[in-house]
A and B are shown apart, each in its own frame.
Chain A
């Protein structure tokens, strides 16, 4: 094979590494080695060590109905998803994913046994090199997830939940998990926290030492000292004390699960630990949500490059190249908005289009590209430019920075404005000179998780009096929460907090309270 690589300029000289659809573990190994050569030498990717696991269709269903993780605690919602997915799979409504990849070190890629040899090649290039490179290098994953420990943590979580179920009953565990799942989207810290107190056990320890201190310094004599009537000054002091207490709670707090775990007055330690498990998983998945399009784009770009190189070097047959191209084009298909098949913007399509476009701009820029991207147009270093983009951006900023007029034109993007009480939506920008920046800005906003998710914070927790917890939803553009969902979620929250819970929906501009909702825990 080495000779084939040396004769890079004379294409189609190598001997194909496999023919036909059949494969065995030796084929898989050869395929992996060849893909690795291209990935590391030609594309200069930087990846975690790889682990490829071959699984059956049923195992694939299993895996991706439990959030795609190889280990997961048990919960009915995963069973529900499994029932749903397996039904639509059996009816032939949906085909299964060909692969599944886990952001861990070593990076585990699952490939299905049904895949043909070509598919396995594509999948290894896609997952074991594309996704793997992205996981290892993107700043969000670096900052927020710990690839070395996630599998151990999941194993711990699974055992812990099982233990709790045995000790406290499946129902009691379910109440906590259901509630925590409902608040999962509010279980994310968008900014790193200083690690003060991590484990419930530590908190219990601190509480205990505080109590011991109080007991040691308690002197009954003070009870007999007559109290001065509360003066204006004293009231002020009390208010200051309350404010200080609030300071201790770190309000306002956007991570509702974090707050509950640390401060909910009625929870037991095991319940806090369960909330913590859900919170940590929510946090682990947050980067994936913010980089879905880039991640898929990166993987698709990588498999496309690798498959083409393999073909150029004669390492795969024309038949498999055609099969690979067929797979590739169905993955990156983007139906128009008025097509029956339309289901939102396909992250594979947009990501791949943008990255191919970046390559083009680096290598053969037009005048327009030079105008728009003076930094890298024509720099000749496509891989370098792409790699720094993969490392330092997320979907929102990537679009804002790199979406070119060419892609906007190719995909025929147009922006619309919708007022809920108007019967029609209005077109506000299309793919023309006036519209490019507008379309790009709006599309970027659509990929901004912090804009798409409601902005809900805990703003008040009255720990000394009524123990009422107050949340504030800052309403932008008049978009209130969906009432029915909100009532039920609030009920879950009240269940965890243990006392009355209030949600205020306050308009971001005027500061006016638009709606107030309350919930009490059920006995």
Chain B
């Protein structure tokens, strides 16, 4: 009989099965994911998700008997029935308590399981990317990454390779016959025994003493670890070119944006932000909010603070231009921008707005997405004003978002890779 402890065996043996399962159910899960986004609070977007999907495509068919025909069966727990009694059948789908418990009749309803945060986001942003990411900064700024490059004989102690070092040490000690503790102890004991024994041959005793001396000498002269043994891990720093990109998020926070519209806009930006931080580590994000005046704010203020006022959109463009000029020269940076607004603007500002977009903003941008939130009943001022620009600038896109459910499809549409779109 053996008792074996298997608890330390590698975990997650079923990971391969899980990956296959998620791949199989991908379409269903994606629908469920975009469905889930509607209901979630903004702060919850970046956490795991409980997913409910229809089990239909995951159902495994087999030849089973249907419900037609006649059958006999036996049930336990009879309290009142005698032969000839009849029992009305339970209604269809009512749990089938009346002994329909044939092993072949198990139905599958909705299927609920939890996706981890990574699985959730992977599916979420699958095949999305920033378009036209081309301007690689050609100047010297490259990020050096250390890569392993064999071993070296000197370096800092933190890079000491213990395995290699000890391997050298052992080989050298064997080659130079450095005595081990046991050998010395044995020699000492032999000597002590011989000295205690009066009948011992004195010449032999001398030999024993010499041997012990020789061993002790060897032990002193041959070091346990010699500087010669030391090996260090060597790293080389490989400069890697990086593509620099910055995303400008422009949001209208004026009074005409109701709380629900702001919420929609924030959801969009939240998604954008997660997408960027997840897929492009090097992407800078600049948050600009505006009423009649615009200001650059940090992430927290952008998503959480409330502020109201009139609407002058050009102020946001002005702010963006300022930031670009100061920190993101357009010949070195890939510049992206997304703007969300309810479509209302100060009438007097429109002409200036369109001019700025046409002449200043769009020329420096790789891609500019304009998101209009709200019930798109009639063409808004901005929509009408901006529409012509889509013809002259291929990298300018406009979309409508009227409910949380639209956000993901629109987002997907804006950033999908060409081969999928």
Q: Let me know if B87 is at the binding interface, CB within 8 A.
A: yes
Instruction: List residues of chain A with CB within 8 A of the CB of B81.
Output: 414, 427, 430
CB distance from A443 to the nearest CB of B (A): 4
With A32-B1, A452-B102, A485-B62: A424-B83 Cβ-Cβ less than 8 Å? no
Chain A to chain B contacts (Cβ below 8 Å), 26 pairs: A25-B3, A28-B3, A55-B6, A55-B7, A56-B7, A79-B20, A80-B25, A82-B18, A83-B113, A336-B77, A336-B79, A337-B75, A338-B79, A413-B75, A418-B71, A418-B72, A420-B68, A426-B84, A427-B83, A442-B72, A443-B74, A452-B102, A473-B63, A475-B69, A481-B66, A486-B64
CA of A334 to CA of B77, assembled, Å: 9
Q: Given A423-B89, A426-B85, A429-B83, A184 and B16 touching (CB < 8 A)?
A: no
A32 partner, pick from B3, B19, B22, B89, beta carbons under 8 A: B3
Residues of A125-157 at the interface with B, using a CB-CB cut-off of 8 Å, are none
Which A residues touch B75, using CB under 8 A? 337, 345, 413-414, 416
Instruction: Point out the residues of chain A lying under 8 angstroms from B19, CB to CB.
Output: 79
Q: Which of B5-33 contact A (CB under 8 A)?
A: 5-7, 9, 11-14, 16-25
The reply on B347 being an interface residue by CB < 8 A is no
CB-based contact A425/B86 at 8 Å: yes
- If A52-B2, A87-B112, A427-B87 touch, does A78 touch B17 (CB 8 Å cutoff)? yes
Is B60 engaged at the interface, CB distance under 8 Å to the other chain? yes
Contact status of A427 and B85, CB under 8 A, knowing A74-B17, A80-B21, A82-B18:
yes
The reply to whether A82 and B63 contact each other, CB–CB distance below 8 Å, is no
What is the bound-complex CA distance between A83 and B77, given in angstroms? 35
Q: Is the CB of B65 within 8 A of A454?
A: yes
A189 on the B face (CB < 8 A): no
B69/A54 in contact, CB under 8 A: no
Contacts of B114 in A (CB 8 A): 83, 87
A36 touches B20 (CB 8 A): no
- A266 adjacent to chain B (CB < 8 Å): no
**Within 8 Å CB of A442, what residues of B?**
72-74
Q: Judging by beta carbons under 8 Å apart, are A489 and B104 in contact?
A: no
In the complex, whether B240 has a CB less than 8 A from a CB of chain A is no
List of B residues within 8 angstroms of A479 by Cβ: 65-66, 68-71
Is A192 close to B, CB under 8 A? no
Which B residues are in CB contact (< 8 Å) with A523? none
Contacts across chains A and B counted by CB atoms under 8 Å: 257
B67 to chain A, nearest CB (A): 6
Main secondary structure of the interface of B (DSSP, over half): loop
Decide if A430 touches B78 in the complex (CB within 8 Å): yes
Query: Which 5 interchain pairs have the tightest Cβ spacing?
Result: A336-B77, A79-B21, A478-B69, A79-B17, A479-B69
Q: With A36-B1, A426-B85 in contact, is A418–B62 under 8 Å at CB?
A: no
Q: Is B82 an interface residue (CB 8 A)?
A: yes
At the interface, yes or no: A375 with Cβ under 8 Å from chain B? no
Q: Which of B17, B76, B85, B102 contacts A336 (CB 8 A)?
A: B76
Within 8 A of A (CB), among B212-262: none
Give residues of chain A (445-475) contacting chain B, Cβ–Cβ below 8 Å.
Answer: 445-446, 452, 454, 456, 473, 475
Flag whether A6 is at the interface (Cβ < 8 A): no
Q: Which of A53, A337, A482 contacts B77 (CB 8 A)?
A: A337
Interface presence of B274 (CB below 8 A) = no
Given A79-B21, A174-B24, 18 new contacts (CB under 8 A)? A25-B5, A32-B1, A54-B4, A75-B17, A83-B114, A182-B61, A183-B62, A337-B76, A344-B103, A412-B78, A414-B74, A417-B70, A420-B69, A424-B89, A430-B81, A435-B83, A485-B63, A485-B64
> Among the listed A82, A106, A434, A477, which residue makes an inter-chain contact with B17, where contact means beta carbons less than 8 Å apart?
A82
Contacts of B348 in A (CB 8 A): none
A residues 480-501 near B (Cβ < 8 Å) are 480-486, 488-489, 492
Q: How far is the CB of A425 from chain B (nearest CB, A)?
A: 5
B89 touches A54 (CB 8 A): no
- Tell me the residues in window 404-420 of chain A with beta carbons closer than 8 Å to chain B beta carbons: 411-420
Q: Which residues of B contact A62 (CB under 8 A)?
A: 13-14
Q: Which of A77, A342, A483 contacts B97 (CB 8 A)?
A: A342
Which residue of chain A has its CB nearest to the CB of B113? A83
CB atoms of A426 and B4 under 8 A apart? no
Q: Which of B1, B77, B103 contacts A52 (CB 8 A)?
A: B1
Tally of contact residues, B, Cβ under 8 A: 63
Q: Knowing A417-B72, A478-B69 touch, does A78 contact B3 (C-beta < 8 A)?
A: no
**Given A427-B84, A479-B66: A415 in contact with B77 (beta carbons within 8 A):** no
A181 contacts B by Cβ under 8 Å: yes
| Contact with A413, one of B22, B76, B82, B103 (Cβ below 8 angstroms) | B76
Residues of chain A within 8 A of B101, CB atoms compared: 342-344
Q: B111 near A: Cβ within 8 Å?
A: yes
A312 at the interface (CB under 8 A from B): no
Judge whether A66 and B82 touch: CB under 8 Å.
no
Known: A84-B113, A184-B62, A419-B70. A76 touches B20 (CB 8 A): yes
What does DSSP make chain A's interface, helix, strand, loop or mixed? mixed
Q: How far is the CA of A342 from the CA of B101 in the complex (A)?
A: 9
| B98 contacts A by Cβ under 8 Å | yes
- Of residues 301 through 358 on chain B, the ones whose CB sits less than 8 Å from some CB of chain A are none
> What B residues does A339 contact at CB under 8 A?
77
The residue from B6, B79, B86 contacting A59, defined by CB atoms under 8 A apart:
B6
Q: In this assembly, does B88 line the interface, its C-beta being within 8 Å of a C-beta of chain A?
A: yes
A502 at the binding interface (Cβ < 8 Å)? no
Instruction: Enumerate chain B residues within 8 angstroms of A25, measured Cβ to Cβ.
Output: 3, 5
Which B residues lie within 8 Å of A49 (CB)?
1
Q: Which of chain B's residues has its CB closest to A29's CB?
A: B3
Which residues of chain B come closer than 8 Å to A486, judged between CB atoms?
A: 61, 63-64
Task: Assess whether A424 is in contact with B66, with CB atoms less than 8 Å apart.
Answer: no
At the interface, yes or no: A51 with Cβ under 8 Å from chain B? yes
User: In the bound complex, what is the Cα–Cα distance between A522 and B20 (angstroms)?
Assistant: 22
Q: Which residue of B lies closest to A431 (CB)?
A: B78
A414 CB contacts on chain B under 8 angstroms? 74-75, 78, 81
Q: In the complex, are the beta carbons of A483 and B66 less than 8 A apart?
A: yes
Min C-beta distance of A344 to chain B, whole Å: 4
Residues in B neighbouring A220, C-beta threshold 8 A: none
Taking CB atoms, residues of chain B closer than 8 Å to A283 are none
Query: Does A113 have its Cβ within 8 Å of any Cβ on chain B?
Result: yes
* B146 contacts partner chain A, Cβ-Cβ < 8 Å: no
Which of A427, A431, A454, A473 has the most B CB atoms < 10 Å from its CB? A427
Task: Count chain B CB atoms within 10 A of each CB in A52, A418, A454, A473 and give the residue with the most.
Answer: A418
- B85 CB to nearest chain A CB (Å): 4
| Contact A415 B72, beta carbon cutoff 8 Å | yes
B63: which of A338, A411, A431, A481 is its contact (CB, 8 Å)?
A481
B5 touches A482 (CB 8 A): no
Q: Is B64 within 8 A of A59, CB to CB?
A: no
Give CA–CA (A341, B267) in the complex, Å. 45
Query: How far is the CB of B11 from the nearest CB of chain A, in Å?
Result: 7
B62 touches A182 (CB 8 A): yes
Q: Is the CB of B97 within 8 A of A338?
A: yes
B73 touches A415 (CB 8 A): yes
Of all chain A residues, the one with the shortest Cβ separation from B108 is A84
Give A473's nearest chain B residue, CB to CB.
B63
Instruction: Give complex CA distance A366, B14 in Å.
Output: 54
Contact B14 A412 (CB under 8 A): no
Confirm or deny: A278 has a beta carbon within 8 angstroms of a beta carbon on chain B: no
Which of A59, A113, A178 has the largest count of B CB atoms less than 10 A from its CB? A59
Q: B60 to chain A: closest CB distance in Å?
A: 6
Q: Which residue on B lies nearest to A349, using beta carbons?
A: B76
- On chain B, the residues within 8 Å of A302 by CB distance are none
Smallest Cβ-Cβ distance to A106: which chain B residue: B2
CA of A480 to CA of B88, assembled, Å: 23
**From A79, A419, A425, A488, contact of B22 by CB (8 A):** A79
Cβ-defined partner of B87 (8 Å) among A345, A424, A475: A424
Note all chain A residues with C-beta closer than 8 A to B24.
Answer: 76, 80, 174
